[in-house]
């Protein structure tokens, strides 16, 4: 059985962006694992707790409940790395600024690449495009493209960031990745019935992170794709084609 590893910068990114896809792939009996990177955090705007330990625990618990709701066979691996505000000493307002992305050091990319290679051994992988330029998302994207075979690496559209990203900017990011890997990317839309309702229900597990209105925004984006989610797959990848029966 083929394994697919979803590279998730935080304890919510995989589900926000790929909640429907995870459900569809689970029903197809694929072996799925979510690799969460920056799981030590002080960011929980809607939680009553304050310490890093308390917030990190709440975020992990939310993620575990959401993923178990999708399918209890999905494995979760947490690397317990510090998120950008903690490790780079950035205020939250600066984590999506391009100058913050420039703080990603070669040493950090090397360490992230080691984690990715360790957990993606003999696995297909799907990484964030890094839409919105969140420094943590960009770090995972850059490390994955640097260390994984490009024919085995697909990409997902970061939610909620894509909701305010233009189609032109998405294409610029796609072109940038294609240029760095030498492999073209082709879109694939995976659709399911009642997509918006499903995504809203799944997103609502993350009560420390988003409001119900923000969950509606995340869920409603599925309507852009006719009740689905869009992935970007390496063009002419026989392995991905075989797994997804394209």
Beta strand segments in the chain, E:
3-8, 31-36, 75-78, 124-128, 153-156, 185-191, 228-234
Average pLDDT rounded to a whole number, residues 71-76: 96
Distances (CA, A) of 4 to 33, 149, 171: 6, 14, 25
Query: Which pLDDT score, from 0 to 100, does residue 3 have?
Result: 93
Q: How confident is the model at residue 50 (pLDDT cuts 50, 70, 90)?
A: confident
Q: State the average pLDDT for the chain.
A: 96
pLDDT digit string (tens) for 10-47? 999 999 999 999 999 999 889 999 999 999 999 999 99
3-state helix, strand, coil in the chain (%, to 5): 50, 15, 35
Q: How confident is the model at residue 1 (pLDDT cuts 50, 70, 90)?
A: low
What is the percent of the chain with per-residue pLDDT over 90, rounded to a whole number?
Answer: 91
The b-or-e profile of 161-173 (16+ CB within 10 A means b, else e) is bbbebeeeebeeb
Q: Which CATH number belongs to the domain containing residue 188 in this structure?
A: 3.40.50.10320
Q: How confident is the model at residue 246 (pLDDT cuts 50, 70, 90)?
A: low
Domain count, the chain: 1
Read off the pTM: 0.96
What 3-state class would DSSP assign to 210? coil
User: How far does CA 35 lie from the centroid of its chain?
Assistant: 9
pLDDT digit string (tens) for 209-223? 999 999 999 999 999
177 token code pair? 């990745």
Domain with 220, as residue range(s), is 3-244
pLDDT digit string (tens) for 77-103? 999 999 999 999 999 899 999 888 999
Please give the angle made by the CA atoms of 197, 223 and 20, to the nearest 5 degrees.
55
């Amino acid at each position: 059985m083929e394994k697919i590893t979803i590279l998730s910068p935080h304890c919510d990114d995989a589900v926000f962006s790929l909640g429907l896809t995870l459900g569809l792939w689970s029903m197809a009996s694929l072996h799925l694992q979510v690799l969460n990177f920056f799981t030590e955090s002080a960011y929980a705007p809607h939680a009553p707790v304050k310490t890093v330990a308390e917030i990190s625990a709440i975020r992990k618990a939310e993620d575990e409940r959401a993923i178990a709701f999708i399918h209890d066979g999905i494995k979760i691996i947490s690397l317990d790395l510090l998120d950008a505000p903690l490790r780079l000493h950035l205020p939250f307002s600066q984590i999506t600024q391009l100058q913050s992305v420039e703080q990603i050091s070669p040493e950090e990319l090397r360490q992230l690449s080691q984690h990715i290679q360790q957990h993606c051994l003999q696995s297909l992988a799907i990484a964030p495009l890094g839409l919105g330029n969140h420094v943590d998302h960009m770090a995972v994207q850059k490390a994955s493209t640097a260390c994984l075979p490009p024919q085995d690496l697909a990409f997902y559209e970061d939610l909620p960031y894509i909701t305010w990203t233009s189609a032109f900017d998405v294409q610029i990011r796609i072109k940038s990745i294609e240029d760095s890997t030498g492999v073209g990317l082709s879109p694939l839309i995976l659709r399911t019935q009642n997509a918006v309702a499903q995504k809203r229900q799944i997103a609502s597990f993350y009560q420390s992170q988003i409001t119900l209105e923000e969950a509606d925004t995340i869920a409603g984006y599925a309507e852009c794709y006719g009740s689905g989610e869009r992935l970007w797959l390496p063009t002419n990848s026989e392995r991905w084609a075989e797994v997804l029966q394209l």
